[in-house]
């Protein structure tokens, strides 16, 4: 097997293991990966530097697949002013994204921390920011303002998610409850999106 095929096969096997463990990346062991792939730890380290880097690569691909398949509900806010429609679409989309983070905490944690450590225009955070800006629609403000708001929204949601992993109740929100997560998103969007 050539180097490129070996690397892709390791990614495919590790992704399968992540899925088999319902996204709990902490349950994926180096022993599982080497056993299923038939390669040594040394070869994994050669291609990825560590098991954690391999897991991060797999998680990036999983999240990228979800982000690219995610479609905002364009019917939300259809009969509202451009500002109110942009806000309604942003709230709808952000609530669904925030729920995804809490429903898939292990994958989300790896994706977010990996993005913070290696932020480029190919990270899931960057795609989330671009997608959030696009959800607002071209009728709402200029592109740089939409991207600024999207950056504030995505970054704040990610920060709240990471904090909630350690302290699920803070600032009056119980992030273990969907209704409190939705209330947080509505409050956040109302604070950062102004007419």
pLDDT tens-digit profile of 35-74?
999 999 999 999 999 999 999 999 888 888 777 777 777 7
Q: What pLDDT sits at residue 1? A: 55
- C-alpha distance from residue 113 to each of 86, 157, 193, 195 (Å): 29, 13, 26, 33
Residue 177 lies in a domain: yes
Write the DSSP assignment of 17-63 as a string of letters.
HHHHTTT-GGG--HHHHHHHH---HHHHHHHHSSHHHHHHHHHHHHH
Assess whether 48 and 134 both reside in one domain: no
What are the DSSP calls for 114-164, one per residue? HHHHS--TTSHHHHHHHHHHHHH-TTSS-HHHHHHHHHHHHHHHHHHHHHH
Please state, in angstroms and rounded to a whole number, the distance separating the CA atoms of residues 16 and 138.
39
78 and 153: one domain? Answer: yes
Instruction: Please check whether residues 76 and 120 belong to one and the same domain.
Output: yes
pLDDT, position 76: 78
Indicate if 78 and 43 belong to the same structural domain: no
| This prediction's pTM | 0.84
Domain presence at residue 62: no
pLDDT at 2: 62
Residue 101 pLDDT grade (very low, low, confident, very high; cuts 50, 70, 90): very high
Alpha-carbon gap, residue 70 to 92, rounded angstroms: 12
pLDDT range class, residue 98, cuts 50, 70, 90: very high
What pLDDT is attached to residue 150? 95
Give the pLDDT confidence of 6-21 residue by residue, as tens digits. 899 999 999 999 999 9
Torsion on CA atoms 146, 127, 69, 17, rounded to nearest 10: -150
Contact status, residue 153 vs residue 132, Cβ threshold 8 Å: yes
Domain shared by 74 and 128, yes or no: yes
Q: What is the per-residue pLDDT across 163-183, written as a single tens digit (0 to 9) for each?
A: 999 999 999 999 999 999 999
Assess if residue 65 is contained within a domain: no
| Count of domains forming the chain | 2
Per-residue pLDDT tens digits for 122-162: 888 998 999 999 999 888 899 999 999 999 999 999 999 99
Q: Which CATH number characterizes residue 21's domain?
A: 1.10.10
Q: Which residues are paired to 170 by β-bridges?
A: 173
Query: Which residue range is the domain that position 19 belongs to?
Result: 3-55
């Amino acid at each position: 097997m050539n180097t490129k095929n070996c690397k892709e096969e390791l990614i495919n096997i590790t992704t399968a293991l992540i899925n088999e463990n319902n996204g709990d990346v902490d349950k994926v062991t180096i022993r599982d990966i080497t056993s299923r792939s038939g390669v040594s730890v040394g070869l994994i380290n050669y291609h990825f530097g560590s098991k954690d880097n391999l897991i991060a690569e797999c998680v990036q691909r999983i999240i990228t697949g979800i982000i690219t398949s995610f479609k905002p509900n364009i019917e939300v806010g259809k009969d509202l002013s451009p500002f109110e429609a942009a806000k309604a679409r942003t709230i709808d989309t952000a609530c669904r994204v925030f729920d995804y983070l809490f429903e898939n905490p292990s994958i989300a944690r790896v994706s977010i921390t990996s993005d913070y450590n290696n932020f480029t225009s190919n990270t899931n955070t960057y795609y989330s920011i671009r997608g959030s800006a696009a959800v607002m629609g071209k009728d709402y403000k200029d592109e740089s303002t939409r991207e600024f708001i999207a950056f504030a929204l995505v970054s704040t949601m990610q920060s709240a998610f990471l904090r909630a992993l350690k302290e699920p109740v803070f600032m009056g929100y119980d992030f273990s409850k969907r209704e409190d997560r939705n209330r947080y998103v509505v409050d956040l969007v109302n604070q950062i999106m102004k007419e």
